[in-house]
Amino acid sequence: APARPRFRRRPTRRTGGGGGGGGGAYASHGAGAGGPAWGAPPQPYAPEGPRRRGMGGLVAAVAAAALIAGGIGGAFGYWAADRNGSGSTTVSASANPQDLKRDPGTVAGVASKALPSVVTIDAQGGDGEGGTGTGFVYDKEGHILTNNHVVASAADSGQLTATFSNGKKYGAEVVGRAQGYDVAVLKLKNPPSGLAPLSLGNSDQVAVGDSTIAIGAPFGLSNTVTTGIISAKNRPVASGDGSGSSNSYMSALQTDASINPGNSGGPLLDARGAVIGINSAIQSTGSSVGQTQAGSIGLGFAIPINQATNVAQQLIKTGKPVYPVIGATVSMEEKAGGAVISNQGVGGTAAVSKDGPADRAGLKAGDVITKFNDTTIDSGPTLIGEIWTHKPGDRVTLTYTRDGRTDTAEVTLGERNGDS
């Protein structure tokens, strides 16, 4: 099984990281019944959230320097040409820029069509915390799909605005959010007419090597388009703000398209322009001296759109997420050789919930789950990520070891409603 990366969310928060996924509450019974954290959480991967406001000055300074250098170069070029005589060696392009057309299947064509349906989200919390992230139009009613950690700071008290590529801004409110999945749905308060939802692809049919296009607002630079490929599928990822109290778990699509703080919540598109994932986390080498947020090293992770769509539909319908569970508390150790069912649950409760899915399937404390259907399980977070790609009521096969012997169990997934 591929090594499970550990990511730190990097929402473009003004004063600290964004609240990312619902780590603790789901981990302890994330594979199981529900409740507080599973135990010592893994070091999470960094979500590419919003950028800090202070970065604006740095970006502006860099841009100004570039303009000055460009001016000097232009002046020198003119002087050199003048010294070489009046003859011209330049070749003119077509007088009509319209003659240069981009085919619909090109990156330029896909971006041109998708950009009007992508928004930059500004979250201003009531306590002064906030930042910027990305989202995209989910339906014609004005629902916007994004990451939970993009909007968490302003979800309970604060202001949310969505800015389209044409510069028009609209107020928004949270319809529902799921910490564990790191998915949130917003609704524009006065949506414009003619909204064009992005078409949704099928993330189950994505293949390694497929082309990808990411759109977002890295470090506040709205409407930025980057390209890459699908580097891996079903990558087990635990992402969070580093505190362990707000982790999320996913079986992610990995891409080398450049993703940075501020890209969080934005669409990952395939070559046709269909959404195949929501950009959510990055692996980073860490921040350099004087920097507060690290950038892309070509390891980005997206929530598969099939899973995100299921979550979004539930949030729009009820405002609360529903999590499939097996009814067992598992260890969060990284090198356990599988997901170890704990000897004791949280707060002294039983590790295997009585009459829960795991109990009915004959699983016991101490069992080590090594496979979920055909997927190898190397840790508790990996198991959670796989469970959460399914729905309550799905029947799955768990392979486990007990006292040196390997066996299998058929488990019908139960459910838990809400984030608490």
Active-site residue list? 149, 182, 264
**If DSSP states are collapsed to H, E and C, what string results for 177-203?**
EECCCCEEEEEECCCCCCCCCCCECCH
**Euclidean distance between CA atoms 230 and 239, whole angstroms:** 19
Burial of 50 (0-12, 13-18, 19+ CB in 10 A): buried
Please choose, from the candidates 4, 93, 80, the residue with its C-alpha nearest in 3D space to the C-alpha of residue 41. 4
Calculate the CA dihedral of residues 161, 165, 168, 172 and round it to 10 degrees. Answer: -20
**Euclidean distance between CA atoms 375 and 142, whole angstroms:** 37
CA angle 18, 22, 24 (to 5 degrees): 115
3-state helix vs strand vs coil in the chain, percent to 5? 20, 30, 45
Here the tokens at position 115 are 């950009």
Amino acid identity for residue 56 in this structure: G
378: helix, strand or coil:
coil
Q: Scanning the structure block, which residue is given the tokens 């293949």?
A: 207
Query: Which residues lie closer than 8 Å to 161 by C-beta, 6 or more apart?
Result: 121, 122, 169, 170, 171, 172
